[in-house]
Structure 1
Amino acid sequence: MGFSDGVIIVLGLALFEIISSIDNAVVNADVLLTMSERARKWFLFYGIIIAVFVVRGLLPLLIVWASSPGVGFMGALTATFSNDASVRDIIERQKPILLAGGGLYLVYLFFYWLFVEPKEYAFFFESHIHRKLSFWFYAVASALLLAVVWITIRINPFIAFGAVVGSTAFFITNGFKHNAEQAEKEIAHSKMTDISKILYLELLDTTFSIDGVLGAFAFTISVPLILLGNGLGAFVVRYVTIHGAKTVRKYRFLKNGAMYSIGSLGAIMLAEAMAVHIPVWTPTFITFIVVGLFFWLSARELKAEKIIA
């Protein structure tokens, strides 16, 4: 991998981390308004250390280790921060298992948003699917899992198993995340201490970062690059949480852009798991195009509202 490829990957990772975390950042901003100035500064400084180095550094490493248990935790750590070619080769061979699980998880996440979750409608079909066809989500999810397993089990049974793990992980974590979202909105009006709120926000950040970390593997399996790209994005998100939440709220379709990006990256990961070659620049290119489209749609809608007002 050349320097230019690395830069492209880091930029894509940073943008994906920003767009996939904006929604949570806006909710965090509401909570921070109920806290003291000292607590807000603590959340910004120490919280970013936890968010970047602990969550977005350790979590990808654990996922790589889980997909290649034969190398051991220390082997995965060695492969991450050294040039041990033998260990890297083992992890590279296990990559399709990771891609199948992560890819199916992200595709499920996209379809759940499209069929079930309340949303701003950027296109007509989003309204139609959500209002008329929401009950089809579980049928689509089941059929997709069946198709992925049918294709990948012929390539490698462990890839098919990875897809089943990704499906299981989605349904386990999805309920937890929805409860966490509701709880996060409620703590702004609770009588919790500032320290309790900070700890709770960090716990929720860890929960919601799973989507971003899994999506990062569509760009690369290099943990240092993931740490750099997602870390850069996390810095921007923390800044938005403090200074730009009101502005972000005005752009109605940014969440749509995040979800279409997630769906696209999930599809890329599934394709790579099935031995389809995807150029290294493709995930970054798609992310910038999708996010740019929905930013433009949001800006156009905002301009129209100002004209009417």
Structure 2
Amino acid sequence: MLLKTFGWSFAVTAIGLVAAVFYGGWEAFGLVAILSVLEISLSFDNAVVNAGILKKMNAFWQKIFLTVGVLIAVFGMRLVFPVVIVAISAKMGPIEAVDLALNNKDRYQQLVTDAHPAIAAFGGMFLLMIFLDFIFEDRDIQWLRWIERPLAKLGKVDMLSVCISLIVLLITSFTFATHAHQHGGAHVDKAQTVLIAGVAGLITYMIVGGLSGYFEDKLEEEEEREHEEEEEAARSGKQRSAVVLAGQAAFFMFLYLEVLDASFSFDGVIGAFAITNDIVLMALGLGIGAMYVRSLTVYLVRQGTLDDYVYLEHGAHYAIGALAVLLLVTIQHEINEVITGLVGVVLIAWSFWSSVRRNRALAAAEGEAGSDEKAEISSGV
């Protein structure tokens, strides 16, 4: 099971590290290894959240997530995305941007760093919406009840998460963004950039998340209808329409997963510049890490880990909320990647331990109930 799920990750690791040695020697080998660990530590919460979505997909779409999804994640977000950001921000052609990335690494790094406020605003708002929609939903299983119970009641107010996100964005754009540059009138442009990028992140979440949720709900309705009228559905051809609908639902959930991964990768891509500004080494290291995150996602799904440890998903969403706040703060203040990674790891570890304690308590309660039942039977005899 372990080899089957992580086999591709092991293979990509070996190929990536060998390529690093040929490209830049053993120093490059070490940098790629460090970048891989950085990506995994920053994205473990991503894997848990992805698993909650991926478990609703069939085996075919899980394979698509591990193949096509990896190509998008590795080559799209870790290699192409930084180049596109440079091309747009510096108003240059893509070929010129690639040449800059390969031959003028310091200038390339500076341009990516200058684009960070817009990247952080987009990713921060997208992740913040994920967290708020989760925390405002009324759930049967609650982890931190003293927080989640009152927030679930507040969540009955329509569009509350959108309103809070917009308020956070306005505060961010007129506080952190205005102080990003002190010279001239640049701070006004920075505030506008952050505001526009944040709104774009919010719109992206609402479109992609809304479509995936819509098709998922339609799929569930169709499955219930088919279950009730199975014979009639077979004669009328409804079974075929359900297959098409399932494909639509899976496609938009897949699209949602890719945008989610993109938002998670922002801090990894920016943080990687603290280790190296070589775009090839960055793509190799972050790509290896992204592969492990995807394999870990599938492993969590196939092992049923989220069903066994029910608070893990809560911990991951709290980590998402923390990451969203940290991304917005980094518009003005620099935060070490170690802190970003540790916040997520600590929250997930805490939720895992809470799940273990819950399972033990339930097992003990069942054991006591079984003992009482046996005692009653014995006394009855």
Q: TM-score range by the shorter chain?
A: 0.7 to 0.9
Q: Which has the higher contact order (CA 8 A, sep 6+)?
A: 1
1:265 aligns with 2:323: yes
1:238 aligns with 2:287: no
Q: CA deviation at 1:291?
A: 0.8
Deviates more, 1:108-117 or 1:292-301: 108-117
Q: CA deviation at 1:198?
A: 6.2
Match of 1:24 in 2: 53
Matched-pair contact (CA < 8 Å) for 1:65–1:72: no
Q: CA deviation at 1:138?
A: 4.1
Structure 1 pair 65/295, CA: closer, same or farther in 2 (3 Å)? same
The counterpart of 1:153, out of the listed 170, 178, 187, is 178
Distance 1:60 1:203 in 2: 22
Matched-pair contact (CA < 8 Å) for 1:105–1:169: yes
Q: CA deviation at 1:181?
A: 3.3
Q: CA deviation at 1:235?
A: 1.7
Match of 1:209 in 2: 258
Structure 1 pair 280/182, CA: closer, same or farther in 2 (3 Å)? same
The counterpart of 2:208, out of the listed 176, 194, 197, is 176
TM-score, normalised with respect to structure 2: 0.66
The counterpart of 1:285, out of the listed 330, 338, 342, is 342
Match of 2:127 in 1: 106
**Structure 2 unpaired stretches of 5+:** 1-27, 181-186, 224-238, 273-281, 367-381
- The 5 A counterparts of 1:1-309 are 3=31, 5-28=34-57, 32=58, 40=59, 43=61, 45=63, 47-59=65-77, 61=79, 63-65=81-83, 67-68=85-86, 69=88, 70-77=91-98, 82=102, 84-85=104-105, 86-116=107-137, 118=139, 120-123=141-144, 124-132=146-154, 134-135=156-157, 136-151=160-175, 152-155=177-180, 156-160=187-191, 161-184=193-216, 187=219, 189=223, 191=240, 201-221=250-270, 222=272, 224=283, 225-241=285-301, 243-245=302-304, 247-274=305-332, 276-309=333-366
Give the root-mean-square deviation of aligned CA atoms. Answer: 3.2
The Cα offsets for residues 114-161 of structure 1, whole Å up to 9 and x where unpaired, read as 234657321121111111355343442232122111111343344422
Distance 2:210 2:132 in 1: 15
Number of corresponding residues: 294
**Structure 1 unpaired stretches of 5+:** 33-39
TM-score, normalised with respect to structure 1: 0.80
Distance 1:228 1:272 in 2: 25
2:347 alignment partner AA:
V
Percent identity, please.
Answer: 14
Structure 1 pair 115/157, CA: closer, same or farther in 2 (3 Å)? farther
Matched-pair contact (CA < 8 Å) for 1:264–1:286: yes
Distance 2:196 2:353 in 1: 37
The Cα offsets for residues 235-281 of structure 1, whole Å up to 9 and x where unpaired, read as 2222343x313x4212212221121111111122112111x121231
Q: CA deviation at 1:92?
A: 2.3
User: SS state of the match for residue 350, structure 2?
Assistant: helix
Larger Rg: 2
Structure 1 pair 75/193, CA: closer, same or farther in 2 (3 Å)? farther
Structure 1 pair 264/55, CA: closer, same or farther in 2 (3 Å)? same
Deviates more, 1:125-134 or 1:183-192: 183-192
Distance 1:255 1:59 in 2: 25
Distance 2:303 2:217 in 1: 18
Deviates more, 1:143-152 or 1:132-141: 132-141
